[in-house]
């Protein structure tokens, strides 16, 4: 992987981390199309640069994140991240194996598209409580929903937002808690991947450090713009558009794989 590749993948990450289309899935697709070697550093990079995008949340919602008087907020984040920490450690090898599979991404994008269209209709029939605040139980349940995104193509954003709405939170409240929950989740995932790579390879090469630093910076800048766009779009239009997008992309991937333009 070179600097140009890292910039392209990081732009993709920043654009897709907070919309329900799977940032990991899109990065895998991008890597396949660019013929980037599927090695350990690439796998680590696709996880590590998500930290840059997640830090955009901390900047945009800094008043919430640094309100140390609101201890309950931090407790909810800790409770919400526990399922991902436990299941992530237990199934880390299987998750890494799935990161190599375009077929997995195409399948989950396609199926997830139908789910988003159905979910949109379901919540129109069963309105959420717009004034409800996230409770500790809500946080734990949303945390389990978020674990579905360990399968590439599912989308962490979609899983956790739908989980929040299933708990009767409004779209905007569910989306914001999804953003907040992403911070400790991706911080833990990034720290684990960096430590694992450091331990296995005895450190990082100079060019690897440059690629990681640039990737996180690009993802951070792009994500700030994407978050502002997504909250407004979600309030007005819901999930249906993203459902059709996922279905279209899933079908396109199967066509590209069938004709050999992209590896399975």
- Packing angle of the helix pair 206-237, 240-258 (nearest 10 deg): 130
What are the residue ranges spanned by the domains of the chain? Answer: 3-258
Q: Which residues contact 17 (CB under 8 A, 6 or more apart)?
A: 23, 50, 53, 54, 156, 157, 182, 219, 223, 226
Instruction: Note the pLDDT tens digit of each residue in 243-252.
Output: 999 999 999 9
Residuewise pLDDT in 10s, the chain (264 residues): 889 999 999 999 999 988 888 888 899 889 888 988 888 898 899 989 988 998 998 999 899 888 888 899 999 999 999 999 898 888 877 777 776 788 888 999 999 999 888 876 776 655 555 556 788 999 999 999 999 988 888 888 889 988 988 888 887 788 889 889 989 988 888 998 899 889 998 889 999 999 999 999 999 999 998 888 877 787 777 788 899 999 999 999 999 898 888 878
Instruction: Note the pLDDT tens digit of each residue in 41-83.
Output: 988 999 899 889 989 989 998 998 888 888 999 999 999 999 9
The predicted model scores a pTM of 0.85
Helices (H), the chain: 3-16, 23-34, 40-48, 50-60, 62-65, 71-90, 92-98, 102-125, 136-146, 156-166, 171-201, 206-237, 240-258
> Do residues 205 and 1 lie in contact, with contact meaning Cβ atoms separated by under 8 Å?
no
CA 220 remoteness from chain centre: 14
Q: Report d(CA 240, CA 95) in Å as an integer.
A: 28
162 in helix, strand or coil? helix
> Do residues 186 and 138 lie in contact, with contact meaning Cβ atoms separated by under 8 Å?
no
DSSP string, 96-111: HHHTT-HHHHHHHHHH
């Amino acid at each position: 992987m070179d600097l140009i590749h890292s910039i392209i993948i990081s732009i993709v990450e920043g654009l897709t981390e907070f919309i329900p289309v799977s940032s990991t899935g899109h990065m895998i697709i991008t890597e396949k199309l660019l013929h980037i070697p599927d090695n350990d550093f690439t796998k680590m990079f696709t996880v590590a640069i998500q930290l840059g995008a997640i830090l955009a949340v901390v900047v945009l919602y800094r008043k919430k994140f640094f309100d140390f008087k609101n201890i309950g907020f931090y407790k909810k984040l800790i409770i919400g991240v526990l399922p991902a920490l436990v299941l992530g450690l237990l199934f880390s090898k299987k998750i890494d194996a799935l990161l190599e599979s375009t077929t997995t991404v195409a399948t989950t994008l396609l199926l997830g598209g139908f789910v988003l269209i159905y979910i949109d209709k379901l919540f129109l029939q069963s309105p959420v409580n717009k004034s409800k605040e996230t409770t500790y139980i809500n946080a734990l349940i949303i945390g389990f929903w978020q674990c579905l995104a360990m399968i590439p193509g599912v989308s962490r954003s979609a899983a956790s937002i739908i989980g929040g709405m299933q708990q009767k939170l409004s779209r905007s409240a569910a989306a914001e808690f999804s953003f907040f929950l992403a911070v400790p989740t991706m911080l833990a995932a990034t720290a684990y991947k960096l430590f694992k790579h450091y331990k296995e390879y005895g450190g990082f090469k100079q060019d690897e450090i440059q690629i990681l630093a640039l990737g996180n910076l690009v993802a951070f800048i792009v994500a700030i713009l994407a978050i502002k766009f997504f909250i407004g779009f979600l309030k007005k239009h819901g999930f249906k558009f993203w459902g059709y997008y996922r279905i279209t992309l899933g079908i396109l991937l199967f066509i590209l794989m069938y004709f050999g333009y992209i590896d399975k």
